A and B are shown apart, each in its own frame.
Chain A
């Protein structure tokens, strides 16, 4: 056993963080320049003061088996986290911390967000020391194995139970260049492509489309007015050619979309720059980021399921990404930050290789078992009727577009719905080898979730009257991160799967007992 007793230290709080605090003043317009400066100076000063006090009041203490953090401006809170409960240790280092040799350290624990510990600015060596301590506390068996494995190695392995404080510098240096075990490192092009495919694009599009289109509209109408005044004959010619205008608008939209995609690609490169996935001491470690260097780690035994995602654009580019779901870690942190263990930018050709490293040897995409075609029948019927009706009724009552064209429109809607439902149905698929289960879903893209059956927390068998008439049921597997659904299976198949899953869950635990 080792003791870092009485190690009590100031956290080298970084002040920048607090500069932004309380900058919610939108009245800048109504103030004069001098007032503005005054307000600004005041805010900076107040921010500085708050940061200083916060810094002074922030204390942490590392004990043998736990860490304690006391903080708070007005209300002091003290949080104690026992190392054995820590799920995950994450580092992140914004660029401005880099020259100072500081990093931000977060200890994830199961349970509420309030009870977790985040040290906003500690020396890298200290952070690594804490990480190792936590790791050493995790599972003694693993540690024993690790020691046995690594006795032959030269430098200090990251986790050696019993190393002292002085070794942490060593470990820090080592953690910077331990590259022996790189599992996956996508190139810049891959990352750029990931930016194009990631669903974030639509978010950017939604954020920027509104203001930009407004701007464009204003400019354009202004330009047209001027044109009408200065050169009436040209304006005349322009209004004669609606096709040209439509083309112009189309090109504009495509250009805008291309720009957004470019932006998204660049952001992805920035965010995931130098992404490297290692496997060290029964943990996966991902390091990435240009401006903010992050390190996320995930213990092998914590990984209960992996979601493989191919977005619609990803299908065009033949690109995937994977998300490792881990027990007891919410997908989003308290600040809304992304907590998922993401492996971006996996090219289709590299997919089996990467997945084999993550899941087990000889990973490949299996032969999917389909779900019942009644899924398609009932869903296209229901949705077709619904959407067809939705088009038909207002078309008749409000817009009065004529009986025949309305019918044609409604039929078109029904056809499109049916097609989409068909795609959706075709995407549903499952495969189980009796221990692992994989379920595929999606519409244009696809989402494959693979999980250990023994990790299920609950199984639910659902049936509607229609399903019961045709001997079908839908299954819902509850995993630590959420529910996974598998609709419209024949009753016997589903029962066998449920029984198998329960058997796995219950015997796995007997085994553990």
Chain B
């Protein structure tokens, strides 16, 4: 959406601007604060989902450790006793606790003009993605997420090949609503872009693939 420039951007080009342009002073303290909206935690089933998915992920290593220890196939392997299983189980437990805590800390908020997402336990980050920069929205859910009635929303901006922001652990309906809302915003923007031909950038709205190619 970088195509849609405000007219003072013409300064960049060093050329005078023909359009009328207002630039009233803004009180920096009066600007909307991104810290202001209370962030919403992710859906409650997300914690359970995280627990189950972590256990599934760690089932295989645990099984492997068990095979090494209790089956006589690999005699002579170092650490050939319960300690190996205990170590793997401990790792699994730590991961589980970490991910549950991480699920606790995940939060997001939708403002009129941007989307805010907070993650992290020790290294925290808050990402603010202006709606105006969103090119493309996608919701997806794996089988396990489906089981818990969850979905994730992927947000793409121009230029990137991968999603710029992924919101995990939304309720299905919530995710669909969010997607519909954002798509509507994109459509509105695109229409507005078309009504003003000068501002209709190539990146206005539609997914950004420069060309259609066919075999």
Q: Is A332 part of the binding interface, using a Cβ–Cβ cutoff of 8 Å? A: no
Would you call A115 and B213 a contact (CB within 8 A)? yes
Known: A457-B133, A458-B133, A480-B159. A110 touches B210 (CB 8 A): yes
Shortest Cβ distance from B19 into A: residue: A141
Interface string of B109-143 (1 = CB under 8 A from A): 00001100000101111111110110000000000
How far is it, in angstroms, between the C-alpha of A428 and the C-alpha of B181 when the chains are bound?
A: 40
Contact of A80 among B2, B31, B198, B213 (CB under 8 A): B213
Selecting from A53-61, A340-348, A503-511, the interface stretch reads A503-511
Collect the chain B residues with CB atoms within 8 Å of residue A82's CB.
211
Interface string of A483-502 (1 = CB under 8 A from B): 00000000000011011101
Would you call B18 and A111 a contact (CB within 8 A)? no
How far is it, in angstroms, between the C-alpha of A386 and the C-alpha of B125 when the chains are bound?
A: 26
Q: Is B208 part of the binding interface, using a Cβ–Cβ cutoff of 8 Å? A: yes
How far is it, in angstroms, between the C-alpha of A282 and the C-alpha of B133 when the chains are bound?
A: 24
Shortest Cβ distance from B211 into A: residue: A115
Q: Is B92 part of the binding interface, using a Cβ–Cβ cutoff of 8 Å? A: no
Contact of A512 among B6, B15, B18, B133 (CB under 8 A): B6
Q: Is B90 part of the binding interface, using a Cβ–Cβ cutoff of 8 Å? A: no
Interface string of A330-372 (1 = CB under 8 A from B): 0000000000000000000000000011111100000000000
Would you call A480 and B2 a contact (CB within 8 A)? yes
Q: Is A461 part of the binding interface, using a Cβ–Cβ cutoff of 8 Å? A: yes
Q: Is B72 part of the binding interface, using a Cβ–Cβ cutoff of 8 Å? A: no
How far is it, in angstroms, between the C-alpha of A205 and the C-alpha of B29 when the chains are bound?
A: 53
Would you call A460 and B114 a contact (CB within 8 A)? no
Would you call A300 and B213 a contact (CB within 8 A)? no
Shortest Cβ distance from A463 into B: residue: B124
Collect the chain A residues with CB atoms within 8 Å of residue B177's CB.
none
How far is it, in angstroms, between the C-alpha of A49 and the C-alpha of B150 when the chains are bound?
A: 58
Collect the chain A residues with CB atoms within 8 Å of residue B127's CB.
458-461
Beta-carbon contacts under 8 Å, A170-185 to B: none
Collect the chain A residues with CB atoms within 8 Å of residue B13's CB.
282, 300-301, 303
Would you call B210 and A458 a contact (CB within 8 A)? no
- Interface size in chain A (residues, C-beta < 8 A): 74
Q: Which residue of A455, A460, A499 has the most chain B CB atoms within 10 A of its CB atom?
A: A499
Contact of A140 among B4, B125, B158, B198 (CB under 8 A): B198
Would you call A503 and B159 a contact (CB within 8 A)? no
How far is it, in angstroms, between the C-alpha of A282 and the C-alpha of B1 when the chains are bound?
A: 19
Contact of B132 among A81, A328, A360, A506 (CB under 8 A): A506
Q: How far is the CB of B193 from chain A (nearest CB, A)?
A: 7
Collect the chain B residues with CB atoms within 8 Å of residue A76's CB.
215
Would you call A327 and B2 a contact (CB within 8 A)? yes
How far is it, in angstroms, between the C-alpha of A111 and the C-alpha of B199 when the chains are bound?
A: 20
Q: Which residue of B2, B113, B158 has the most chain A CB atoms within 10 A of its CB atom?
A: B2
Q: Is A465 part of the binding interface, using a Cβ–Cβ cutoff of 8 Å? A: yes
Known: A328-B159, A509-B4, A512-B193. A461 touches B126 (CB 8 A): yes
Beta-carbon contacts under 8 Å, B12-37 to A: 12-15, 18, 26, 28, 31-35
Would you call A499 and B34 a contact (CB within 8 A)? yes
Would you call B4 and A457 a contact (CB within 8 A)? no
Would you call A462 and B210 a contact (CB within 8 A)? no
How far is it, in angstroms, between the C-alpha of A512 and the C-alpha of B8 when the chains are bound?
A: 11
Collect the chain B residues with CB atoms within 8 Å of residue A78's CB.
213-215
Q: Is B149 part of the binding interface, using a Cβ–Cβ cutoff of 8 Å? A: no
Contact of B211 among A80, A478, A503 (CB under 8 A): A80
Contact of B8 among A109, A304, A435, A464 (CB under 8 A): A435
Q: Is B9 part of the binding interface, using a Cβ–Cβ cutoff of 8 Å? A: yes
Would you call B124 and A462 a contact (CB within 8 A)? yes
Q: Is A13 part of the binding interface, using a Cβ–Cβ cutoff of 8 Å? A: no
Would you call A458 and B15 a contact (CB within 8 A)? no
Collect the chain A residues with CB atoms within 8 Å of residue B199's CB.
512
5 cross-chain pairs, A with B, having the tightest CB-CB distances, nearest first: A109-B210, A300-B13, A141-B198, A512-B4, A115-B211
A interface residue numbers (CB < 8 A to B): 75-82, 84-87, 108-112, 114-117, 139-142, 145, 279, 282, 300-301, 303-304, 327-328, 356-361, 434-435, 452, 454-465, 468, 478, 480-481, 495-496, 498-500, 502-503, 505-509, 511-513
A and B contact pairs by CB, cutoff 8 A, 23 listed: A77-B215, A79-B211, A87-B202, A87-B210, A112-B161, A115-B213, A139-B198, A141-B197, A301-B12, A327-B2, A327-B203, A435-B8, A457-B158, A461-B125, A462-B124, A462-B125, A480-B2, A499-B31, A505-B130, A508-B4, A508-B9, A512-B192, A513-B193
Known: A84-B202, A328-B208; 19 extra A-B contacts, CB below 8 A, are A76-B215, A80-B212, A82-B211, A108-B210, A110-B210, A140-B198, A282-B13, A300-B14, A301-B12, A454-B5, A458-B128, A460-B127, A461-B126, A464-B123, A465-B122, A500-B31, A505-B133, A506-B113, A512-B6
